[in-house]
Amino acid sequence: MLQMATNKPTWAFLLLALIFSGTVVGGAAIDAKALYKTHCSECHNPDRLGKMGPALLPQNLKRLRKKSAVKVITKGRAATQMPAFGDKLKSEEIQALVDLVYMPLETIPEWGMEQIHASHLVPNKPETLSDKPIFKATMDNLFVVVELGDHHATLLNGDTFESIKRFPTRFALHGGPKYGPNGRYVYFASRDGWISKFDIYNLKYVAEVRAGINTRNLAVSADGRYVIVANYLPHTLTVLDANDLKPIKVISAVDDKGQTSRVSAVYTAAPRESFFAAMKDIKEVWEISYADQPPMGFSGWMHDYNPEGGEGNQEQQFAVRRVKTDDYLDDFFMNQDYTQIIGTSRSGGGQVVDLDLRRAVKAVTLPGMPHLSSAITWEYKGHPVMATPNIKEGLVTVIDMQSWKVVKEIKTDGPGFFMRSHENSPYAWVDVFFGPNKDLMHVIDKRTLEIVKTLKPMPGKTSAHIEFTKDGSYALLSIWDKEGALIIYDAKTLEEVKRLPMSKPSGKYNVHNKLTRSSGTSH
């Protein structure tokens, strides 16, 4: 068991616990815990950690507001096994349940090798499946489109823009899916910690495992041998065998003083044969080597468990090198050669961290809250620049990556979330995801740093997340709505080409652009 979230419960916490575990209505106490045990525990786990249904914890319910949660319990949820309880429970009982599931747990729950092993599923053994695609298409110009509206994904032909297969996913995918080295396999992570491996050649799932309770994202090693998972709950990184998703190691996110941390994200650094992990609650970035013989400076002291079998030296494999930072990094961006990162903290401002020197080397002025994990790069007047949208302010910040000085702040019609481009395109696209102008999409000329066109694809509905085809000739845009669409644009003329109805399409991920780590997309 990891350490408690707080050493001593506060009086406020105890008071809330008393209130929510026995809500008083009209003189009679409602026992929310008893209601949960009777109506919810079978599907969602007695400890609210999730089972057939998702985990019912505040960290896992961030995208679901309390009013919406009341509606889900009352009317059920379409396209899921969640039934309606409006005819079984009174409105005040439903409210008591909602208050209960939005309460944090008193301690950080355990989810180690035993629990991960027990969750492991192999619905289709790889040796029983074809080694060639069962359909015809340009394999590296395929897209996987995540549809959050009804928890499905669509495999899309990037040449014809026709659906090859629409298939169900785990509830509430979180973070973008990642491809194995040749694009045959794609790996998904759900908010509830389920990692799923899908065989694109055969259009079937081949393995699943629950690597955590609240998961942020995953990364796949460049050699295709390993998958690593970043967890908010518990405070861990989980290493899996990419072949069958069996767990290899669970690494506690803890500093040398015993302080544990949520893991914000994890990324692959192919030239270094390592992963990088962002820590939410300690002033460190971790480099985790997946080489059989890690370079000097890596330590294996943080390993919680040894794998059953595995390659290389078990004590050294997945060893950690900790890089000190001047502040907590909520978000960061890695340069194209993986020698430096630029990160932002919750207190504002940014810092450049040299990964070989293992320290911060430059402070950067960044207003608002830049969304660095969505940043992109290109050449501008002979210099590499990085451009990032901003979650709090209506601007795009362009930074010279040699001097780390701000080149320009491009005013937009509101805060944005995603920014995308392609090496063959003169344009960068950025959404206006937050605020009243969420239905707009700006197109910026990378040569002049000016907005040259503002699109309004579906008035009143959120425009989001551009991705390009392999050659950059077409740009795909999401209408982020339950009754949304995928809209394809000619990337040169900026004219609409095709529109496909979809249910809240979130990200769409081109195989070539992801595997080549295009400078126009996130890694």
Q: Please, which residues bridge with residue 436 across strands? A: none
In 10 A of CB 14, how many CB atoms?
A: 12
CATH class of 11-101: mainly alpha
Judge residue 130's burial from the number of C-beta atoms within 10 Å of its C-beta, 0-12 exposed, 13-18 middle, 19 or more buried: exposed
User: By the 8 A CB rule, do 515 and 181 touch?
Assistant: yes
**What are the residue ranges spanned by the domains of the chain?**
11-101, 375-523
Place of tokens 């430096």: 340
End-to-end Cα spacing for the chain: 33
Q: Residue 79: what pLDDT? A: 60
383-388 and 376-380 strand pairing: antiparallel
Coil/strand/helix, residue 505: strand
The pTM of the full predicted model, rounded to 2 decimals, is 0.84
**Rg from Cα positions in the chain:** 23
Task: Tell me the angle at which helices 32-39 and 11-21 cross, rounded to the nearest 10 degrees.
Answer: 60
Report DSSP letters for 331-358, one per residue: EEEE-TTSSEEEEE-TTS-EEEEETTTT
Give the separation between CA 286 and CA 262, rounded to whole angstroms: 13
Architecture (CATH level 2) of domain 375-523: 7 Propeller (2.130)
Q: What is the DSSP letter of 367?
A: -
Give the separation between CA 238 and CA 109, rounded to whole angstroms: 15
Judge residue 390's burial from the number of C-beta atoms within 10 Å of its C-beta, 0-12 exposed, 13-18 middle, 19 or more buried: buried
Written as one letter, the residue type at 442 is H
Q: Residue 3: what pLDDT? A: 34
Report DSSP letters for 392-404, one per residue: SSSEEEEEETTT-
Q: Residue 16: what pLDDT? A: 46
Q: Residue 441: what pLDDT? A: 98
Q: Residue 316: what pLDDT? A: 59
Q: Dihedral sign, CA of 363, 366, 369, 375?
A: negative
Report the candidate in 275, 282, 280, 266 with the shortest Cα–Cα distance to residue 321: 275
Give the separation between CA 119 and CA 84, rounded to whole angstroms: 27
In 10 A of CB 36, how many CB atoms?
A: 19
Report DSSP letters for 113-133, one per residue: HHHHHHH-B-SS-GGGS-SS-
Give the separation between CA 346 and CA 329, rounded to whole angstroms: 7
Task: Tell me the angle at which helices 66-75 and 91-101 cross, rounded to the nearest 10 degrees.
Answer: 130
Give the separation between CA 254 and CA 236, rounded to whole angstroms: 8
247-252 and 263-269 strand pairing: unpaired
Judge residue 257's burial from the number of C-beta atoms within 10 Å of its C-beta, 0-12 exposed, 13-18 middle, 19 or more buried: exposed
Coil/strand/helix, residue 280: coil
In 10 A of CB 55, how many CB atoms?
A: 27
In 10 A of CB 403, how many CB atoms?
A: 10
Alpha carbons within 13 A on the beta-carbon side of 432: 25
Report the candidate in 109, 104, 100 with the shortest Cα–Cα distance to residue 37: 100
Mean pLDDT in consecutive groups of 10 residues from the start of the chain, 523 residues: 38 44 57 81 76 73 75 76 81 81 78 96 92 97 96 98 98 93 97 97 98 96 97 96 97 93 93 93 94 76 41 63 87 86 78 88 86 93 95 94 94 97 98 96 98 98 97 98 97 98 95 94 79
Write the Ramachandran bin of 460: left for phi over 0, alpha for psi from -120 to 50, otherwise beta. left
Q: Dihedral sign, CA of 334, 396, 486, 193?
A: positive
CA angle 354, 359, 360 (to 5 degrees): 75
Alpha carbons within 13 A on the beta-carbon side of 404: 19
Task: Give 3-state DSSP helix, strand, coil % of the chain, rounded to 5.
Answer: 15, 40, 50
Judge residue 475's burial from the number of C-beta atoms within 10 Å of its C-beta, 0-12 exposed, 13-18 middle, 19 or more buried: buried
Coil/strand/helix, residue 371: coil
User: By the 8 A CB rule, do 502 and 519 touch?
Assistant: no
